[in-house]
Structure 1
Amino acid sequence: MIDLVTRPLLLDGGLGTLLESRGNDVSSSLWSARVLRDDPDEVRAAHAEFAAAGADVLITASYQVGFGGEIPDADVDMLLRRSVSLARDAGDGLVAASVGPVGALRADGSEYTGDYGLDLARLRSSHRRRLAVLADAGADLLAVETIPSPLEVEALALELADLDVPAFVSLSADSTGYAEAGALAAALRVSASVPGVVAVGVNCCAPESVGPALATAPAVPLVAYPNTGERWDAATRTWHGGTAALADAAPSWVAAGALLVGGCCRSTPADIAAIALALG
């Protein structure tokens, strides 16, 4: 049972960011999944840094790992399970098995639009096998994250309903997939209606997008872990812009109902420690 009543739980930060700062190459289309495959001790060590910074929940390095992607299917099952065991070894908190969008496997920027050219049935099929493996891998819950469109939310909701395992669902609030008025709020409601989903919210977005998004969410436990303010250019594969102090805004997210709070891309163990201090 995932207890989100006693106090807000602190999520970790940008795993790929930390791996890169530790000297690992995350420039390929596999991002942190390459390190998961080739140097698992580095993934474990990065998780341990976030745990030492105060993270209650470690999100696994499985975001870019899925069947039908660049990694041969024969290796995917092993890597998904490895991602959970590495996070489990690194701390004594909760482990959330990351389930990224289909676009994360494509590494073409479509994870920020949801424009895959796939219908509902094919989206469900694209997620099904990975969800089943991660549900069986020993994590405390699934972290269904950075989902960029209402259609992919619907597909995942249907698959999660069949699994009925603990999960949170977090949407990419700045995705063009939610450009239509009310689309993000509707997708949050769909996510919250699924049995087993313990929280819904937003991630991988600008910090200033969090408050308005949470204000449209249903009255359930919420999730908030944005980027630090820099914006990703998928064409050049570079970050641009200034940064924001997540700790300054985190108390307002908790006041709005967020019970899982942390950072996404570009956030570091120092950011997580600062959030912990800000939340008391």
Structure 2
Amino acid sequence: MGHAAMMSDFLRQCGGVAVIDGGFATELERHGADLNDPLWSAKCLLTSPDLIRRMIKSSHVDFGFFRLAANHKTLDLDEGVHLDYLEAGADIILTASYQATIQGFKNKGYSVEQGENMLRKSVELAREARDIYYTRCHEAQTKDTTGDKILKQRQILVAASVGSYGAYLADGSEYSGDYGDAMNLEFLRDFHRRRVKVLAEAGPDLIAFETVPNRLEAQAFAMLLEEENINVPAWLSFNSKDGINVVSGDSITECVAAAESSNKVVAVGINCTPPRFIRDLVLSIKKVTSKPILIYPNSGESYDADIKQWVQHTGVSDKDFVSYVNKWCEAGASLVGGCCRTTPHTIRSIYGTLSCKSSDPSLVFEAPRPRPNEG
């Protein structure tokens, strides 16, 4: 099956609209993680993999250099973030690799090999969480809900998150797209090249190029897929602060053209953008592409880069956020979720709002049963 056909079939099984998970770092922090670090959420690959997905039998997993430092207190939690989102109804979960780069790990004192292993670990944790979820669905013997947990057999995709060069810089430039006049395609391709290959080889179902702030980096990502013969479908997701252009000021339609240049890009859209801008952006994107359109906005809150904190009460409530969902879908979005400051409650509300979720028994996905020694 070709990449485009795969996405089309997946959306058909989802009833026309797939649910993407929500804010990852938001949930890690809520569970007690300290993400004040250039690696941001990727820091938990080093310190708290149990926060990312639940370890059922930790004796089966050797984390090696991922083990916690002796002075680090292990957080005793029943659920990992991936599982929280799956049980909230997410059809797609993104790995904890948005700000994970080989260069970033090297800056923290790790070798290239260790950095690559951490990238692989991010995909492994998401795949393990999916297996655990499938086991729970089998145990529940239901295709509806158990309490407030959605335990429904369905195809779930793992998307390997690839943040922009600006995310690596950790200076907020992914929200400006200003990389300096000397920046060029060759530099960006070389910066992302090995990271993208390692993630693709780790076995995700998708590669999610996220929070892409300018046309240049979109072109670099599209070119890499072809140059390295990446055999994993991808999506390109941009961010905007005015509802018209991407954050660099580049035209959204010109940025989407970069996605159109590669058959391996199976969806294109917007993330980490205030909800009020999404509908108009979807309509603009729809004019220039026939690819599925994905949107996962942030809560609309403002971020103070000086104190590195979100400004309270500057965003919309979950109720207001979800009130947009049907309008986004009517405009043309077919993959919907949340970004920064959204939670499993947000995703559960999106899942409940999407009345187009199919109940056709012919579309029921039968998940593989994990072998006994797989936890």
Q: TM-score interval w.r.t. the shorter chain? A: over 0.9
Q: CA deviation at 1:231?
A: 1.6
Q: Distance in 2 between matches of 1:134 and 1:16?
A: 20
Alignment check: 8 A CA contact 1:11 1:55 kept: yes
- The match for 1:76 among 105, 115, 135 is 115
Q: CA deviation at 1:209?
A: 1.4
Structure 1 stretch 48-57 or stretch 5-14: which is displaced more? 5-14
- What's 1:169 paired with? 236
Is 1:39 equivalent to 2:52 in the alignment? no
Is 1:270 equivalent to 2:340 in the alignment? no
Alignment check: 8 A CA contact 1:207 1:226 kept: yes
- Letter aligned with residue 223 of structure 1: L
- The match for 2:332 among 242, 250, 257 is 257
Q: Distance in 1 between matches of 2:249 and 2:282?
A: 16
Q: CA deviation at 1:239?
A: 1.1
Structure 1 stretch 80-89 or stretch 65-74: which is displaced more? 65-74
How many pairs are equivalent?
A: 278
Q: CA deviation at 1:176?
A: 6.3
Q: CA deviation at 1:177?
A: 4.0
Q: Scaled by the length of structure 1, what TM-score is found?
A: 0.94
Q: Distance in 1 between matches of 2:209 and 2:44?
A: 21
**Overall identity of the aligned pairs, in %:** 42
Alignment check: 8 A CA contact 1:161 1:195 kept: no
- What's 1:149 paired with? 214
Write the deviation string for residues 226-248 of structure 1: whole angstroms up to 9, x where unpaired: 00110222222111213243211
- The match for 1:237 among 308, 320, 330 is 308
Kindly report which structure 2 residues correspond to 1:94-105, keeping only aligned pairs within 5 A, or say none. Answer: 94-105=157-168
Write the deviation string for residues 88-144 of structure 1: whole angstroms up to 9, x where unpaired: 111252100000001111111111112223211101111111111111111001011
SS of residue matched to 1:80: helix
Write the deviation string for residues 41-70 of structure 1: whole angstroms up to 9, x where unpaired: 111111100100000100000001112223
- Letter aligned with residue 350 of structure 2: I
Alignment check: 8 A CA contact 1:164 1:195 kept: no
SS of residue matched to 2:103: coil
Is 1:27 equivalent to 2:27 in the alignment? no
- What's 1:179 paired with? 249
SS of residue matched to 1:202: strand
Structure 1 stretch 255-264 or stretch 157-166: which is displaced more? 157-166
Alignment check: 8 A CA contact 2:239 2:246 kept: no
Q: Distance in 2 between matches of 1:89 and 1:57?
A: 14
Q: Distance in 1 between matches of 2:331 and 2:234?
A: 20
Q: Distance in 1 between matches of 2:203 and 2:122?
A: 10
- What's 2:185 paired with? 120
Q: Scaled by the length of structure 2, what TM-score is found?
A: 0.71
- Letter aligned with residue 81 of structure 1: R
Alignment check: 8 A CA contact 2:238 2:246 kept: no
Write the deviation string for residues 12-31 of structure 1: whole angstroms up to 9, x where unpaired: 00010001001111122221
- The match for 1:66 among 101, 124, 135 is 101
- What's 2:290 paired with? 219
Q: Distance in 2 between matches of 1:273 and 1:87?
A: 19
Alignment check: 8 A CA contact 1:4 1:259 kept: no
- Letter aligned with residue 335 of structure 2: L
- Letter aligned with residue 107 of structure 1: A
Alignment check: 8 A CA contact 2:178 2:248 kept: no
Structure 1 stretch 158-167 or stretch 207-216: which is displaced more? 158-167
- Letter aligned with residue 270 of structure 2: V
Q: Distance in 2 between matches of 1:256 and 1:13?
A: 21
SS of residue matched to 1:68: helix
Is 1:108 equivalent to 2:171 in the alignment? yes
Q: Distance in 1 between matches of 2:305 and 2:223?
A: 29
